[in-house]
A and B are shown apart, each in its own frame.
Chain A
Amino acid sequence: MKHIVKIMALLVALSAFWISLLQTSVLPQSYTWLLPLYFIVSLGCYGLLMVGVGLIQFPTCPHEAILLQKDIVEAKGFLKEKGVDIGSE
């Protein structure tokens, strides 16, 4: 099944649920009408929240940059010794 079909199915199921809520009026009608709006807004909030949290917790590794510099020096030393023409950057 293509992934878009899964997502569509999910949306259809949600709409069906919503329509049944509208018809049986377990909740006040005016409230039910606003549910899709709440859904979209909360989806947006979820997205923003996830991006925000991801940014705050963004894993960084400054130490790795220092280790890499050491590796580069070591590699250049070896290669020069073997006569590989790596230039003089």
Chain B
Amino acid sequence: MIRNSMEEKEEKNKYSIIVPTYNERLNIALTIYLIFKHLQNVNFEVIVVDDGSPDGTQEIVKQLQQVYGEDCILLRPRPKKLGLGTAYMHGLKHATGNFVVIMDADLSHHPKYLPSFIKKQIETGASIVTGTRYVKGGGVHGWNLMRKLTSRGANVLAHTLLWPGVSDLTGSFRLYQKSVLEDVISSCVSKGYVFQMEMIVRASRKGYHIEEVPITFVDRVYGSSKLGGSEIVEYLKGLLYLLVTT
């Protein structure tokens, strides 16, 4: 009985997977292959929001459309690099599913976890399912000691000050009910890592039901990181901002 109703729900649901890209020519192809491999019998679309990558990311996406069909892969480019937060909003405008998944294109978010996000959502009816690296079954590969130290420090600080109720604040591999994402994203102003934190903290303050699934995170193999600079300072500022506004 339970199985049947689960399958029925799965059939009605449509998942829009928003993938922002900037210079991810090779990675986006691999990611899309893996998405299609792991999401069989699921109604979904991939929305690639490319910010005018000079490396020809869009060319590759067009070729992938030929392989997988133009109705399954939507290319919604923007003329220049305008940042991640607005890339999600842009993708969201074109989403036709009732659920939206947000993931990176750099293979550190492996599409093999998509079914567990979907399953968790159906089982619990959650508004948001967020991938966490810091529970049993999760993990990170490829970080040096400094990276681990800052990550742990940031996490302890955020948990002591914000009491967010989720274990991984800065991860960005998440599934949202579309209306919930629209609601939360419109009240978020931060950039970079803080943006992910703001999204989940605001959602938790608004009382949305948030569930977690373990994911593993393998640091990018190809291409280079687009975040950088004075990240720690930005993070601390963001934390303060969240303290006084949420």
Of all chain B residues, the one with the shortest Cβ separation from A64 is: B216
Question: Are B30's CB and A59's CB within 8 A?
Answer: no
Chain B at the A interface: SS class: helix
Most central of B145, B216, B244, B245 by chain A CB within 10 Å = B216
Give min CB distance, B216 to chain A, whole Å. Answer: 4
Interface residues in A1-43 (C-beta closer than 8 Å to B): 2-4, 7
Question: Are B29's CB and A59's CB within 8 A?
Answer: no
Q: Are A60 and B243 CB-contacts (below 8 A) given A51-B156, A84-B64? A: no
Interface residues as binary, B78-96 with A (CB distance below 8 Å gives 1, 0 otherwise) = 0000000000000000000
State which of A54, A68, A75, A85 has its C-beta within 8 Å of the C-beta of B152: A54
Interface residues in B134-174 (C-beta closer than 8 Å to A): 134, 138-142, 145, 148-149, 152-153, 155-157, 160-163
Question: Are A84's CB and B244's CB within 8 A?
Answer: no
Give min CB distance, A37 to chain B, whole Å. Answer: 19
Question: Are B33's CB and A61's CB within 8 A?
Answer: no
Inter-chain CA distance A54–B167, complex, in Å, is 12
Chain A at the B interface: SS class: helix
Q: How many residues of A contact B (CB 8 A)?
A: 31
Q: Are A54 and B142 CB-contacts (below 8 A) given A68-B107, A89-B26? A: no
Q: Are A58 and B156 CB-contacts (below 8 A) given A3-B242, A82-B67? A: no
Q: Are A75 and B221 CB-contacts (below 8 A) given A64-B216, A84-B67, A86-B60? A: no
Interface residues as binary, B198-222 with A (CB distance below 8 Å gives 1, 0 otherwise) = 0000000100000000001110011
Q: Are A2 and B244 CB-contacts (below 8 A) given A7-B161, A75-B33, A87-B25? A: yes
Inter-chain CA distance A64–B161, complex, in Å, is 33
Give min CB distance, B93 to chain A, whole Å. Answer: 27
Inter-chain CA distance A55–B142, complex, in Å, is 14
State which of A3, A65, A84 has its C-beta within 8 Å of the C-beta of B63: A84
Question: Is A45 among interface residues, defined by CB-CB distance under 8 A?
Answer: no
Give min CB distance, A85 to chain B, whole Å. Answer: 6
* B contact residues vs A (CB 8 Å cutoff): 25-26, 29-30, 33-34, 59-60, 63-64, 67, 107, 110, 112, 133-134, 138-142, 145, 148-149, 152-153, 155-157, 160-163, 205, 216-218, 221-222, 242-246
4 A-B pairs with least C-beta separation: A61-B139, A59-B139, A54-B152, A75-B33
